[in-house]
């Protein structure tokens, strides 16, 4: 560029000894062009003083500009670019008080377009007759090669280039936070890169990478129009318009609204077009262009435009229970999807919406849409859709489960069942006869616009694989975990053998201490990583339960050690991407295992409850959570854990009694003899009277014979991995335990009741009693 723009050739190039300037490829280029290299001695930047002094000048201006404009550090690159733009147009003593721009091009600098960096700017837009004619932005500088201004629009979080701009240089905007404005997905990879650096000096380099990734994302995002005006002028205008026409046809077919005059005293809800381009398989499937008309539901007033908004979805335990039944009885399992599901909901309130942009009816420009059906982004849309679907199912002889509102079943004359599970607009249908599935599909298609996805392959990010010859069904999240590892830059991490090593002693004392650590952790995507791992744990990975439970307690204020623990879990996931749940044929019913870790929480000394329920050796329900109160002994902790497990057992028993009478749950195994004794006898009332009454309901359950709590050896209890960090041999043993029915040990009730176990009064309880006695004695004295 220098040679073409100035007609002069480069003779010398002076740099430091950094590897970015000393690659073999670059050295060969300089040698072939006859450019002589000047390299500084290491740790002597003064030898390249001209460049170093200019860096300082630029950064001093950047700090001042950001501070004056109340902008966060995330805009440092824009400020640096503007600083260079101004320096090139400022007189310099080194070139006889001329400007670099003039010396470079031979033309004097033009100052007529200069504006104050960071000032409010109003860019002209044309979004419709009734829409505002401008959007409020922040001035960020000048776009190279384009005759226009570079602006940041906080509303849609994009950089805008515009020439028709009105500036307000008399004021600055208040502090602009980018916590929600920056592209979180891209920052995750960058932030992990920051976390692995050893010194704060490298933050600036990582910020540069973050800026580059954000800019790259903005470029990609431009492929998807942000509003209707961009659709008209973009390259794929015809394809986007076809998608819009499809959406409008669907809305009219569904009779979503009527055009009416706006009644006095009523307000309208605005709407907007949302566009998404879904990339197809290269060479096989063409990209899909989708358009959705969504209401701006945030402007709805509670009590006026909506009341109740809650809508249930099927529980993951119910999904796994159905998969267990499918594998056991070799049922057909297929999947359906409802097109534009939310448009089927009947509205109970009068909601008025402006006419869609680009589709204003001629001679009725002042009319508004009185919504008859729900629309995407309305507060009540999910609830109204569920109510409509529930009404349809119950009117077609399906019964709704009293244990899960999104599980429907119907018993045929031959004794077989038809099952249907609903998660918003995704459905699973299972039955013995394919003809029954076709019948249900036909009924649904008459009422709703359905998409038949055939035999189930994937739902909610979970892959379902079947081997009908061996009657095996596999539930895997391999694809999700691989994306998760890629997102947090852990694809090449070294795998480890356990979810959380024993050397991690996590507590709030390890939270942020020094300023350096606060700065370090501000770039760490801790909450996002834990949340992503939590979804894997909830869906198909009970082996992650204890580890995710441990790190999730410090979401509000994590420290470096907590982040290392999260990275450890990701490394474990890296080596176990192929781990999945395996369902098969079995004569065993549902079996439960429960365990507790006494005072495992180092902060509040609360105990941890862990349980897992299996069907044919495959886990269908699990939990690892802190208990609500502090217990005084191991016995109490185990007793409370049994209570939690029995509550889940009752729910599962009720669910299976509806779905399949042959599958019942009757036994929960626990490794604490003393806790089992307390569940069956109230002899030691003095030792348990401080325990909340609601925990004692387990005694009634056991007395009625609904659930039997039986003894199992600690070494044979798979729930042990739900409550503590285990060595690799014990951890792998726990993973394999549910597959063997030989490990179960029933203790006769007579034996338990005749001689109380010695461990009923354990050391922590004795210590508590001694402390009380000591206090009483001191008071009497």
pLDDT at 420: 93
671 Cβ contact partners less than 8 Å away, ≥ 6 residues apart: 595, 638, 711, 712, 713, 714, 717, 720
C-alpha angle 587/590/592, rounded to 5°? 135
Per-residue pLDDT reduced to its tens digit, 19-59? 788 888 898 999 999 999 998 888 788 888 888 889 999 99
Q: Cα separations (Å) of 577 from 411, 458, 491, 497, 779?
A: 38, 16, 11, 12, 61
Per-residue pLDDT reduced to its tens digit, 311-347? 889 999 999 999 988 988 889 999 998 887 888 888 8
Mean pLDDT of 603-626: 87
SS3 372: coil
pLDDT above 70 coverage of the chain, percent: 84
Assigned token pair, 738: 């549910």
How many angstroms separate the first and last alpha carbons of the chain? 95
Q: Spell out the domains of the chain, with CATH numbers in brackets.
A: 1-43 (no CATH), 182-218 (no CATH), 316-456 (3.30.70), 461-585 (no CATH), 586-781 (3.30.420.10)
Distance of alpha carbon 131 from alpha carbon 93, whole angstroms: 51
CA torsion, points 552, 734, 592, 697, in degrees to nearest 10?
-50
Query: Could you tell me which of 550, 621, 610, 611 has the C-alpha nearest to residue 581?
Result: 621
**Residue 725 and residue 504 in contact, taking contact as beta carbons nearer than 8 Å:** yes
- pLDDT band of residue 779 (cuts 50, 70, 90) is very low
Query: Could you tell me which of 251, 263, 449 has the C-alpha nearest to residue 355?
Result: 251
**Rg (alpha carbons) of the chain, rounded to whole number:** 33
C-alpha angle 731/736/739, rounded to 5°? 155
**Residue 708 and residue 666 in contact, taking contact as beta carbons nearer than 8 Å:** yes
Residue 768 has pLDDT above 80, yes or no: no
Residue 104 has pLDDT above 70, yes or no: yes
Please state, as a whole number, how many other Cβ atoms lie within 10 Å of the Cβ of residue 380: 24
pLDDT at 691: 58
Residue 414 has pLDDT above 50, yes or no: yes
State the burial class of residue 752 (Cβ atoms within 10 Å of its Cβ: 0-12, 13-18, 19+): buried
Distance of alpha carbon 456 from alpha carbon 291, whole angstroms: 26
pLDDT at 282: 60
pLDDT at 600: 79
Query: Of 367-381, 416-430, 710-724, where does mean pLDDT reach its minimum?
Result: 710-724
Query: Could you tell me which of 430, 720, 503 has the C-alpha nearest to residue 594?
Result: 720
Distance of alpha carbon 349 from alpha carbon 372, whole angstroms: 9
Query: Of 156-165, 173-182, 197-206, where does mean pLDDT reach its minimum?
Result: 197-206
Assigned token pair, 771: 């402390």
Strand order in the sheet with 458-459: 458-459, 462-467, 472-476, 580-583
Average pLDDT, the chain: 81
Per-residue pLDDT reduced to its tens digit, 729-756? 888 888 876 554 333 333 332 222 233 3
Query: Could you tell me which of 327, 369, 58, 298 has the C-alpha nearest to residue 155?
Result: 298
Assigned token pair, 61: 């201006």
Strand order in the sheet with 426-431: 399-400, 407-411, 417-423, 426-431, 332-338, 450-455
Distance of alpha carbon 663 from alpha carbon 611, whole angstroms: 19
CA torsion, points 457, 459, 464, 468, in degrees to nearest 10?
-60
State the burial class of residue 126 (Cβ atoms within 10 Å of its Cβ: 0-12, 13-18, 19+): exposed
Q: Which helix (H) or strand (E) holds 394?
A: helix 381-394
DSSP letter for 356, please.
P
Q: Which residue has the higher pLDDT, 741 or 371?
A: 371
C-alpha angle 623/648/473, rounded to 5°? 70
Query: Could you tell me which of 81, 471, 542 has the C-alpha nearest to residue 317?
Result: 542
**Residue 480 and residue 362 in contact, taking contact as beta carbons nearer than 8 Å:** no
The whole model's pTM is what?
0.63
Using the structure block, give the residue that is written with the tokens 């005293």. Answer: 265
SS3 443: helix
pLDDT at 220: 43
Residue 212 has pLDDT above 70, yes or no: no
Distance of alpha carbon 772 from alpha carbon 781, whole angstroms: 14
Mean pLDDT of 553-573: 91
């Amino acid at each position: 560029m220098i040679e073409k723009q100035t007609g002069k050739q480069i003779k010398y190039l002076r740099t430091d000894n950094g590897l970015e300037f000393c690659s073999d490829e670059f050295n060969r280029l300089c040698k072939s062009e006859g450019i002589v290299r000047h390299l500084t001695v290491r740790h002597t930047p003064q030898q390249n003083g001209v460049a170093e002094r200019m860096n300082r000048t630029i950064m001093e201006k950047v700090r001042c500009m950001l501070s004056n404009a109340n902008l966060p550090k995330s805009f440092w690159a824009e400020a640096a670019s503007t600083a260079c733009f101004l320096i090139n147009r400022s007189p310099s003593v080194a070139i006889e008080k001329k400007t670099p721009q003039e010396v470079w091009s031979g033309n004097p600098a033009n100052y007529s377009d200069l504006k104050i960096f960071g000032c409010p700017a109003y860019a002209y837009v044309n979004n419709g007759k009734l829409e505002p004619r401008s959007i409020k932005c922040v001035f960020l500088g000048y776009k190279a090669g384009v005759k226009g201004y570079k602006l940041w629009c906080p509303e849609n979080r994009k950089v805008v280039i515009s020439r028709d701009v009105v500036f307000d240089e008399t004021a600055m905007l208040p502090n602009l936070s980018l916590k929600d404005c920056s592209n979180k997905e891209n920052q995750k990879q960058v932030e992990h890169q920051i976390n692995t650096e050893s010194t704060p000096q490298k933050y600036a380099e990582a910020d540069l990478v973050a800026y580059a990734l954000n800019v790259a994302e903005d470029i990609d995002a431009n492929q998807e129009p942000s509003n209707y005006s961009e659709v008209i002028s973009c390259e794929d205008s015809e394809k986007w318009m076809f998608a819009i026409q499809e959406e409008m046809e669907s809305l009219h077919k569904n009779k979503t609204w009527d055009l009416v005059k706006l009644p006095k005293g009523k307000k309208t809800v605005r709407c907007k077009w949302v566009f998404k381009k879904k990339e197809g398989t290269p060479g096989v499937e063409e990209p899909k262009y989708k358009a959705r008309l969504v209401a701006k539901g945030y402007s709805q007033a509670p009590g006026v435009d909506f009341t109740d908004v809650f809508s249930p979805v099927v529980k993951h335990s119910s999904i796994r229970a159905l998969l267990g039944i499918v594998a056991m009885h070799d049922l057909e399992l297929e999947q359906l999807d409802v097109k534009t599901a939310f448009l089927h909901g009947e509205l109970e309130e009068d909601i008025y919406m402006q006419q869609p942009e680009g589709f204003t009816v001629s001679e009725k420009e002042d009319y508004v849409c009185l919504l008859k059906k729900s629309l995407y982004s309305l507060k009540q849309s999910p609830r109204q859709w569920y109510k409509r679907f529930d009404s349809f199912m119950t009117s077609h002889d399906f019964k709704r489960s009293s244990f899960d509102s999104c599980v429907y079943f119907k018993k045929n004359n031959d004794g077989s069942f038809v099952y249907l599970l609903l998660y918003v607009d995704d459905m699973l249908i299972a039955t013995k006869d394919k003809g029954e599935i076709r019948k249900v599909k036909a009924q649904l298609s008459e009422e709703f616009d359905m998409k038949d996805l055939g035999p189930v392959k994937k739902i909610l990010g979970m892959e379902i694989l079947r081997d009908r010859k061996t009657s095996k069904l596999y539930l895997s999240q391999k694809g999700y975990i691989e994306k998760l590892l890629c997102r947090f830059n852990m694809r090449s991490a070294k795998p480890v053998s356990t979810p959380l090593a024993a050397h991690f002693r996590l507590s709030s004392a390890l939270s942020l201490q020094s300023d350096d650590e606060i700065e370090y952790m501000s770039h760490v995507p801790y909450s996002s990583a834990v949340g992503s791992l939590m979804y894997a744990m909830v869906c198909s990975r009970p082996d992650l339960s204890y580890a995710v439970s441990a790190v999730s307690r410090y979401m509000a204020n994590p420290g470096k050690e907590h982040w290392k623990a999260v990275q450890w879990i990701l490394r474990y996931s890296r080596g176990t991407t192929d781990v999945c749940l395996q369902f098969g044929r079995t004569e065993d019913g549902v079996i439960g295992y429960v365990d507790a870790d006494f005072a495992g929480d180092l902060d509040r000394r609360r105990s941890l409850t862990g349980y897992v329920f299996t069907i044919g050796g495959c886990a269908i329900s699990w939990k690892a959570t802190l208990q609500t109160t502090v217990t005084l002994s191991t016995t109490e902790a185990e007793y409370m854990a049994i209570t939690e497990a029995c509550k889940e057992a009752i729910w599962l028993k009720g669910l299976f009694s509806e779905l399949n009478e042959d599958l019942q749950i009757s036994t929960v195994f626990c490794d604490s003899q003393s806790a089992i004794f307390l569940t069956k006898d109230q002899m030691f009332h003095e030792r348990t009277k401080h325990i909340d009454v609601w925990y004692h309901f387990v005694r009634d359950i056991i007395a009625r014979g609904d659930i039997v709590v039986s003894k199992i050896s600690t070494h044979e209890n798979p729930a042990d991995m739900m409550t503590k960090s285990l060595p690799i041999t014990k951890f792998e043993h726990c993973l394999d335990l549910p597959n063997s029915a030989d490990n179960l040990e029933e203790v006769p009730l007579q034996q338990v009741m005749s001689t109380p176990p010695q461990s009923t009064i354990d050391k922590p309880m004795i210590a508590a009693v001694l402390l009380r006695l000591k206090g009483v004695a001191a008071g009497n004295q």
